A and B are shown apart, each in its own frame.
Chain A
Amino acid sequence: MSQPFRLNKEGLINRNKKISFTFNGKKLFGYEGDTIASALIANGIHLVGRSFKYHRPRGFFGAGVEEPNAKLQVEFNGHSEPNVNATEMELVEGLSASSQNCWPSVNFDIGAINNFLKMFFPAGFYYKTFMWPKSFWYKIYEPFIRKAAGLGIASLEKDKERYEHKFEYCDLLVTGSGPSGLASAYAAAKNGAKVILAEDKPRFGGTLLTDDVSIDNLSGKDWAEKIVSELKSMPNVTVKNRSQVFGYYDHNMLVMFERVSDHLEKKSKFTPRQRLWYIRAKETILSTGSIERPIVFGNNDTPGIFLSAAAKEYMKVYGVLVGKKPLIFTNNDSAYETALDFKKNNVEPIILDTREEHSSELIDEAKSKGIDIRFSHGVIVANGYKKVKSAKIGKLTKDKNSFEKIETIECDCICVSGFWTPSVHLASQSGNKLKYEEKIDAFIPDKKKQQETSVGASNGSFTLEESLKHGFENGSNLSAKITETKTEISIPNVNEKKYGAHDKFWCMPLPKNENPKRFVDFQNDVSVSDIEIALREGYRSIEHVKRYTTLGMATDQGRTSNLNGLQLVSNIENKIVPEVGHTTFRPPFTPITIGTIVGREVGMEYMPTRKTPIHKWHKKNNAVFVDAGAWKRPRYYKQGNETLFEASKREAKNVRENVGICDVTTLGKIDIKGPDAAEFLNRVYTNAWMKLPVGKARYGLMLREDGIVLDDGTTTRISENHYHMTTTTAQAANVLSHLEYYLQIVWPELNVNVVSTTEQWAGAAIAGPKSRDMLSKLYPDLDVSNDALPFMGYKEADFFGVQSRIFRISFSGELAFEINVKSDHGMFMWEKMMEIGKEFGNQPYGTEALSTLRIEMGHVAGPELDGRTIPLDVSLNGLVSKKKDFIGKNSLGREAFNIESRQKIVGLIPIDRKSSIPEGSHIVQDQNAKLPIPKLGHVSSSCWSVENNNPFSLAIMKDGKNMIGKKFFAVSPLKNKSIEVEVISSHYVDPEGKRVRS
């Protein structure tokens, strides 16, 4: 098992630990510290995928986040993850990677026929082809595009991993641990600042790991190690590797994606897979470095073509050769370092330099080492289908538009360098407008919009000396402002090679009659000719060109393609690059997993679960629960094989005939205190409150200022200046905010305080004709007669030794009481009720029976108070005072609220007395009328009337009261039902309300 392209010594990998993995089913091995990419290249594998549109063979191009091609489907640690960047993913034992976007295999891909039909896939292809006919979209085009899009396959399995969120605050966040980042973090740490240093890669140091430099007589790598270990030892510093700061949001909030354990073979049970950090930083240092950009030439996407810095990184970090016959194609000095590294490893490179013959420190060194350098030369087209075999190269004429000489030379890889592009993504996300720096042909940050400072290469400083100086200075100054401490640090001595000027050259011309594809954007398969077409078709704005051609819109965000695309547009348009402008960078900088975004908020942790103090009893007694907001409420208590329908019918019937108890703890409760409490209620509710005596409850209705009903409920006067308000379960939080709004902002002169007491009290309703008999057994010493405790009466009494409140209120239409005790006694109360209620035939009832009871009474609730109804619509206009002012009163005079035919609440029964009417059904006159059929109303609530033993519904219907006695159809296209109905009164049971007063 030899690795033909692994060097014997070089690299930072752990050669003592072999890691086995598979690629497209083939068993291979690498070493600890390898990425999938470095391990595959070590094994001589370059063909890893097919391109997006033309299914052209693709290999690795970069060595990190800039990689546009090598996106793999990877299975590891029990999951399957699509679109994994092979140049970033660390090798872990048992990992299995496979190519995407190819069928049946990466070596023989049917889709590659697109490559030969490329005249059919020009810019805007999707827009032009799939536009019409419209009816083709869902069945034909959309599935086709989805399949052709051919990225990886998301797993359908439940993600068993743990993801976490973390919130952190710091003085200085440093994003990137290259020389400028290390210097900044170090200087700030020495000033006592709370520092977070984030590094995306597993190893700290950035370019210090690959560049031939020394700092204070240490190699770059050793200096980085020394600084990092010192930082790690400081209590005020958090040092994080495998952590990508991917988003810069408002008010200096940055979000970081930490890959906690993907690289681990074994981890402890509670170690998360990944972690999302929300970091609020007082100051941010953006030391994100720069990314090499390529020079564009023919078939420049052939496997075996690399960025020159990537080739160097494979040698120096992973001990891997990307080829043994390299061609170095450059317009600047940095690629000479790659050539020298090849040479050091006994590989003979040939350098093609687009510049005319000249001299610099690096060129001289390369010359002295005997490297073959060809000035005024470049690669015209790469030859080879699945791997570079040779290159047609040319000697450029002085104007660089044509060739003096063309020849073909053999090579097995091409390392290309078109100079460096600062990584300004985070700066741009922060709102920084960026400016074009002529000197480096790229954009750098302009005036800061937030507390962000770019240093080093991301700010366009490409020398080590300058990067360190900027890092130390900015780290020190920014932190000193916060900590008010300044520690002097001497800037270290630096030894680095001096670079000569680069050539402003980015695209090779083509000889006459040759027309190979020249790609600008590899990931989205956008070529020079695509951009030319877009411009020919009239697209001018760079944002439009981007969307039409999809240039830079792939997951690599155009890291290697944006500037070349801009150069091309500026050349054709005869504008300078800053006039063309740049597109906006958006988070995330690199793709992150959905699991991390979600964090722990899955399943039961999706939202808090609120349980009443009686929850355990319900559970033990076969309650089937329903979600009411965050609350779990018993929907029904299942006996034997009962269905929901059967159980709720039994429970509701028992309330009508005997007595039942219902857990009503979830109702919103608000304590209202203060000398102006009565006045406040009088303004909040539509009805009169000034004369409610102590010990009495009243039903009240509240509106919004626009006249729409907000909520209803009872409020009881506990004592002179103390009221107990109840709200519906759903509106509890809104009503509290509503009351606070008026007390704090509108009427601060009212001396009133409100506080939620929902969780302080457990509540149970006792309803049914036998409820008073039961109550008298629950309170043997209390007079609970109709005279002593009349309808809407209130008493405080001892309940077997615990304090309790008795309200004579009813939601069911039956004689009913509601008992509240402190939450801690809720279970005690409930069990006592169950015990004592036995002789009266008491049964617990759930929300389904509760609904049935209120619906057949015509008592409105959430489905009727749906944010569209005024009191008149729901027959509650009797509660609207004409004498006093209240919230929303002025709106009730609006014309639309007073027209005769306005919607009203009505009851509906099916003509056949059997078919239940689906909630949400539309009411129409003629179900066979021509579409669109005029809608007369909708069914809001439906039940099986236990009193009359047939279905009954409430509906909100146009001119409702005048429709009584008439027949219509209730149509539910959703349930595919149409039921003939008769309109009746909404009060189906006990319309006079005698029972509640009995």
Chain B
Amino acid sequence: MLYIKCPYCGLRAQKEFSYGGDATVKRPNINEEVTSEDWDNFVYMRKSPRGKHVELWQHIAGCRQWIKVQRDTATHEIFQTAKVTEEIR
């Protein structure tokens, strides 16, 4: 079971979180024209990297904040966590 550091609450068990997918995906702006290719990429296309991956988790049984987690998809090592407004490099 993973041990995830919520930037608001500190280290908490994985049980308290729910997974939210790739954090690098950016939704096209509302009220702006978007090509169907860009839209399809946003809705459907996801990389499935082996290794470092920045992903979203929500601390649903805690502060309910969505957070960013940089995790190794093969080893589960967590390198960094951040608020969604912060950058992970």
Contacts and interface: CB of A to CB of B under 8 A. Distances in A.
Do A and B interact? Answer: yes
B58 A746 contact: no
Interface string B31-48: 100101001001110000
A737 B18 contact: yes
Interface in B38-89: 39, 42-44, 56, 58, 60, 64-66, 75-76, 78, 84-85
Contact of B27 (A280, A740, A746): A746
A884 B36 CA distance: 17
A737 B18 CA distance: 10
Nearest to A884: B31
B1 A740 contact: no
A250 B14 CA distance: 11
B36 to A, nearest CB: 7
Given A744-B84, A745-B66, A893-B36, A885 B31 contact: yes
B34 A890 contact: yes
A280 B31 CA distance: 48
A890 B2 contact: no
B33 to A, nearest CB: 10
Contacts of B30: 683, 747, 885
B39 to A, nearest CB: 5
Given A250-B2, A251-B76, A251-B78, A744 B43 contact: no
Nearest to A683: B30
Contacts of A449: 75
A744 B65 contact: yes
Contact of B43 (A280, A705, A733, A748): A705
Contact of A251 (B3, B28, B65): B3
B28 to A, nearest CB: 8
Nearest to B3: A251
Given A431-B75, A746-B27, A891-B43, A251 B66 contact: no
Size category, A interface: 20 to 34
A840 interface: no
Interface residues of B, number: 27
B20 to A, nearest CB: 7
A142 interface: no
Nearest to A252: B3
Contacts of A890: 28, 34, 36, 39
A30 B88 CA distance: 65
A251 B1 contact: yes
B63 to A, nearest CB: 11
A741 interface: yes
A737 B85 contact: no
A744 B58 CA distance: 11
Nearest to A747: B30
A744 B27 CA distance: 13
B22 to A, nearest CB: 12
Interface in A227-266: 249-253
Contacts of B3: 250-253, 280
A251 B58 contact: no
Contacts of B65: 744
Interface string B1-22: 1110000000001000010100
A746 B84 CA distance: 10
Contacts of A747: 30
A891 B39 CA distance: 8
Nearest to A893: B36
Given A744-B66, A745-B66, A748-B85, A250 B1 contact: yes
Contact of B84 (A431, A745, A884): A745
Contacts of A893: 36
A249 B3 CA distance: 11
A747 B2 CA distance: 29
Contacts of B84: 744-745, 748
Nearest to B75: A431
A43 to B, nearest CB: 45
B1 A737 contact: no
A853 B39 CA distance: 40
Contacts of A253: 1, 3
A83 to B, nearest CB: 27
Interface in A718-760: 733, 737, 740-741, 744-748
Given A740-B64, A744-B84, A746-B27, A705 B42 contact: yes
Interface in A446-462: 449
30 contacts: A167-B13, A250-B1, A250-B3, A250-B76, A251-B2, A251-B3, A251-B76, A278-B1, A280-B3, A280-B13, A431-B75, A449-B75, A737-B18, A737-B58, A740-B58, A740-B66, A741-B20, A744-B65, A744-B66, A744-B84, A745-B56, A746-B27, A748-B84, A748-B85, A884-B31, A885-B30, A890-B28, A890-B34, A891-B39, A893-B36
Closest A-B pairs by Cβ, 4 of them? A251-B3, A250-B76, A890-B39, A885-B31
Interface of B: 1-3, 13, 18, 20, 27-28, 30-31, 34, 36, 39, 42-44, 56, 58, 60, 64-66, 75-76, 78, 84-85
Interface of A: 167, 249-253, 278, 280, 431, 449, 683, 705-706, 733, 737, 740-741, 744-748, 884-885, 890-891, 893
Given A251-B3, A733-B60, 15 more contacts: A167-B13, A250-B1, A250-B76, A251-B78, A253-B3, A706-B43, A706-B44, A737-B18, A737-B58, A740-B58, A741-B20, A744-B65, A744-B84, A885-B30, A891-B39
